[in-house]
């Protein structure tokens, strides 16, 4: 028997959509000056214009960096850690109190299912502030000397896939360590960062400790190249990451980069099939596959391939694609027309290279940006869909016979952010984990995040770690 779901939309009335014609500088929303303009942000599910937002120019970035510098020198870096911690706790509590508003706004602006923004993005963002609030007065015990100093003003640039969560990953450790920040959210998803600015006001955070400058790539370029910045933290594409590394190499500025990935999710023939299938689905269809650590390459042991793929197709047929505000939706909208075009191009290269494409029957809405959950079989290592990051709901399946072959194929990528291993054998998990060249290796699970666990990559996935004790190092003057 097949059950139909009634629509279960989350109300959007909790969110007040207004034009955010202002940048958050020195604790106030202020108009842009000089070369600034405005841009529109849309809901990717409907193409409805949600708000007009200020595009910050050079003068605006100057003002934001100056505000962050003044706050660093006068208040934040001289305030005892236990006092800083109180502000971080307060922000964490307000994130929880306003969680529904944040989740609805994130889903509207980004296109991700409300189930994910409500149950993953917002709670994890709050957890990052709680966790780092705890470190604020314990930095002398973090293993970086008796009295580690902050770096100064951090310039932070984040992507559109987890807008509020990436903001939390950047701002919470910076503030806990005594730095002040200027952050630029992505052009297509600026709204939760602006709501976060309001939360900073509500928490009475001293003016200038957090500054938000909205805009596109040019604003990001102005920020990371600004001479008043002591530290740059970037999450986004490898291409832009390389440009930023070149810019920072010309100065004494410290840099951490969290870039792309092409993770292998390795399934051995002794793995429980249904559990592994849940992990494969979560690995590549969570957040429409807009995940740097997505398990976008399934490596399945040849003897189990048929069973695993049959179970995967059955499971994919139950995924519900559609209105991201519906509480039953599993797969939401692709974030932008540009990203949709990129996914289509790469999927077409899979067809042209001779791989077999399969998607479950699914009706795509007429408006907005959509791509169905897709799996390619018959993929070889030379195919573009096995090498390049698609950043969409597209899985490439390869097979292997021996553990050694699995390791070799998994590591055959310029990236090294994450990997997954599915097997009943504990010894095999340890054997694999020691050989996989990836910053995070998940065993019998995937896409699990915790603020106490460091996250980051090898090779073209970047350098530096975010989260945990290791993540503090990126914001302390310890070299
Ligand atoms: P991107 O261009 O690297 O964007 C990341 C952030 O950097 C955004 O805030 C972006 O601003 C800003 N930016 C762009 N050019 C810049 C520059 N020259 N200097 C400083 N900042 C700059 O990534 P994207 O174009 O959004 O996505 C492209 C691909 O990157 C994706 O298909 C995916 O493969 C990868 N990606 C990876 C991650 C990750 O989590 N590692 C996240 C997102 C994307 P605007 O958004 O306003 O342009
Ligand atoms: Mg948007």
pLDDT per position as a tens digit, 226-274: 999 999 999 999 999 999 999 999 888 999 999 999 999 999 999 999 9
CA of 159 relative to ligand 1 center, distance in Å = 5
Distance, in Å, from the CA atom of 123 to the CA atom of 109, rounded to the nearest integer, reads 18
Report if residue 4 sits inside a domain: no
Report the C-alpha gap between 362 and 340 in whole angstroms.
17
Q: What is the pLDDT of residue 336?
A: 98
Indicate which ligand has the atom closest to the C-alpha of 192.
2
Taking the CA of 109 as reference, the closest ligand is 2
Do 321 and 210 have their domain in common? Answer: no
Best mutation site among 236, 337, 347, 385 for ligand 1 pocket (most ligand atoms within 8 Å of CB):
236
The enclosing domain of 304 has a CATH number of: 3.40.309.10
More confident residue, 35 or 449: 449
CA dist 161 and 416 (Å) reads: 19
CA-nearest residue, atom 46 of ligand 1: 186
**Ligand 1 shell residues, CB under 6 Å:** 157-161, 184, 186-187, 216-217, 220-221, 224, 235-237, 240, 243-244, 258-260, 292, 339, 342, 389, 391
Is residue 3, in this structure, part of any structural domain at all? no
363 belongs to a structural domain: yes
Are both 249 and 155 inside the same structural domain?
yes
Counting from 1 in the atom list of ligand 1, the atom nearest the Cα of 258 is 41
Based on the fold, state whether residues 413 and 279 are members of the same structural domain: yes
> Could you read off the pLDDT of 22-46 as tens digits, one per residue?
899 999 999 999 767 899 999 999 9
Q: Does 172 share its domain with 293?
A: no
Which percentage of the chain shows pLDDT scores above 90? 96
Instruction: State whether 76 and 150 are in the same domain.
Output: yes
Give the active site residues. 258, 292
Examine residue 453 and state whether it is found in any structural domain, yes or no: no
Say whether both 301 and 374 belong to one domain: yes
Domain of 223, in residue numbers: 23-258+459-477
The rounded distance, in Å, linking the Cα atoms of 127 and 259 is 23
Sheet holding 210-212, edge to edge: 28-30, 23-25, 210-212, 180-184, 153-157, 231-235, 254-258, 462-463
DSSP 383: S
Residue 360 lies in a domain: yes
The encoded tokens of residue 443 equal 């065993």
Question: Which of 21-25, 218-222, 318-322 shows the lowest per-residue confidence on average (mean pLDDT)?
Answer: 21-25
Residues 205 and 352 in one domain: no
Task: Please name the residue whose Cα sits nearest to atom 42 of ligand 1.
Answer: 236
Q: Which of 112, 216, 217 to mutate for ligand 1's pocket (most ligand atoms within 8 Å of CB)? A: 217
Q: What is the mean pLDDT of residues 170-186?
A: 98
Q: Which helix (H) or strand (E) holds 352?
A: helix 337-353
Q: What is the pLDDT of residue 308?
A: 98
Mean pLDDT value across residues 149-156: 98
Shared-domain flag, residues 200 and 68:
yes
With residue 428 as reference, give the H or E element that holds it. Answer: helix 426-435
Tell whether 433 is covered by a domain.
Answer: yes
pTM for the model: 0.97
Distance (angstroms) between ligand 1 centre and the Cα of 63 equals 24
Residue 452 located in a structural domain: no
pLDDT at residue 21 in the model: 74
Specify the pLDDT at position 4. 84
pLDDT digits (tens, 9 = 90+) for 398-423: 999 999 999 999 999 999 999 999 99
Question: Does the residue 35 lie in any domain?
Answer: yes
- Residue 24 phi/psi, 5-degree rounding, is -100, 100
How far does the centroid of ligand 1 lie from the alpha carbon of residue 7, in Å?
34
Q: Which ligand is nearest to the CA of 47?
A: 2
Q: What is the mean pLDDT of residues 96-110?
A: 98
Nearest one of 231, 253, 240, 107 to 179, comparing CA atoms? 231
Structure confidence at residue 20 (pLDDT)? 77
| Ligand 2 center from residue 121 Cα (angstroms) | 16
Q: Whose CA is nearest to atom 40 of ligand 1?
A: 292
Mean pLDDT of 312-334: 98
Statement to judge: residues 278 and 186 lie in one domain: no
**Which residue has the least CA distance to atom 13 on ligand 1?**
217
How far away, in angstroms, is 237 Cα from ligand 1 center? 5
Residues 76 and 178: beta-carbon distance below 8 Å: yes
Burial of 35-46, coded b for 16+ CB within 10 Å and e otherwise, reads ebeeeebbbbbb
pLDDT at 1: 62
Distance CA 190, CA 184 (A): 8
Predicted local confidence at residue 473, as pLDDT: 97
- Is the CB of residue 293 less than 8 Å from the CB of residue 418? yes
Please tell me the total count of domains within the chain. Answer: 2
Q: Are residues 463 and 405 part of one domain?
A: no
Give the domain CATH number at 465. Answer: 3.40.605.10
Confidence band for 215, pLDDT divided at 50, 70 and 90: very high
How far is the first Cα of the chain from the last one, in angstroms, to the nearest whole number?
Answer: 64
Q: How far is the CA of 149 from the centre of ligand 2 (A)?
A: 37
For residues 47 and 174, membership in a common domain is answered with yes
Residues 381 and 431 in one domain: yes
Element (H, E) at 257: strand 254-258
Say how far apart CA 58 and CA 34 lie, in whole Å.
Answer: 8
Residue nearest to atom 4 of ligand 1 (CA): 236
C-alpha–C-alpha distance, residues 365 and 144, integer Å: 53
- At 279 the pLDDT is 98
DSSP H or E segment with residue 29: strand 28-30
């Amino acid at each position: 028997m097949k059950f139909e779901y009634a629509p279960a939309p989350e109300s959007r009335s909790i969110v007040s959509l207004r034009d955010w014609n202002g940048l958050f500088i020195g604790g106030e929303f202020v108009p842009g000056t000089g070369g600034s303009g405005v841009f529109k942000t849309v809901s990717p599910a409907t193409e409805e214009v949600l708000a007009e937002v200020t595009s910050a120019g050079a003068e605006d970035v100057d003002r934001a960096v100056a505000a962050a510098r003044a706050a660093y020198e006068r208040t934040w870096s001289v305030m005892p850690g236990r006092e800083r911690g109180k502000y971080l706790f307060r922000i964490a509590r307000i994130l929880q109190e306003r969680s529904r508003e944040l989740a609805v706004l994130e889903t509207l602006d980004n296109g991700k299912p409300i189930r994910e923004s409500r149950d993953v993005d917002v709670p994890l963002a709050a957890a990052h502030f709680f966790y780092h609030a705890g470190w604020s007065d314990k930095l002398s015990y973090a293993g970086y000397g008796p009295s580690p100093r902050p770096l100064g003003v951090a310039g932070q640039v984040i992507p559109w896939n987890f807008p509020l969560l990436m903001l939390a990953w950047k701002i919470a450790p910076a503030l806990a360590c005594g730095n002040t920040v200027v952050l630029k959210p992505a052009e297509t998803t600026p709204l939760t960062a602006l709501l976060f600015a309001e939360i900073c006001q509500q928490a009475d955070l001293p003016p200038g400790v957090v500054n938000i400058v909205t805009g596109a790539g040019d604003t990001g370029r102005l920020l990371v190249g600004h001479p008043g910045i002591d530290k740059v933290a970037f999450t986004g594409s490898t291409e832009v990451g390389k440009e930023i590394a070149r810019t920072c190499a010309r100065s004494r500025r410290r840099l951490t980069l969290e870039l792309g990935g092409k993770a292998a999710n390795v399934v051995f023939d002794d793995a429980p099939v249904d559990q592994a299938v849940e992990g494969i689905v979560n690995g590549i269809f969570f957040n429409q596959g807009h995940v740097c650590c997505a398990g976008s390459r399934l490596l399945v042991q040849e003897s189990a391939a048929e069973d695993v793929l049959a179970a995967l197709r059955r499971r994919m047929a139950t995924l519900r694609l559609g209105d991201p505000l519906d509480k039953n939706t599993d797969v939401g909208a692709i974030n932008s027309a540009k990203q949709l075009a990129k996914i289509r191009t790469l999927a077409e290269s899979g067809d042209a290279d001779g791989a077999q494409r399969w998607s479950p029957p699914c009706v795509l809405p007429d408006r907005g940006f959509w791509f169905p959950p897709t799996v390619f079989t018959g993929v070889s290592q030379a195919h573009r869909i096995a090498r390049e990051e698609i950043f969409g709901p597209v899985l490439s399946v390869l097979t292997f016979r021996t553990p050694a072959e699995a390791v070799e194929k998994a590591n055959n990528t310029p990236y090294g952010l994450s990997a997954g291993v599915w097997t009943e054998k504990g010894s095999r998990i340890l054997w694999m984990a020691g050989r996989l060249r990836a910053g995070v290796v998940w065993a019998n699970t995937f896409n699990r995040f915790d603020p106490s666990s460091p996250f980051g990559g090898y090779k073209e996935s970047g350098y530096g770690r975010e989260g945990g004790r290791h993540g503090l190092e990126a914001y302390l003057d310890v070299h």
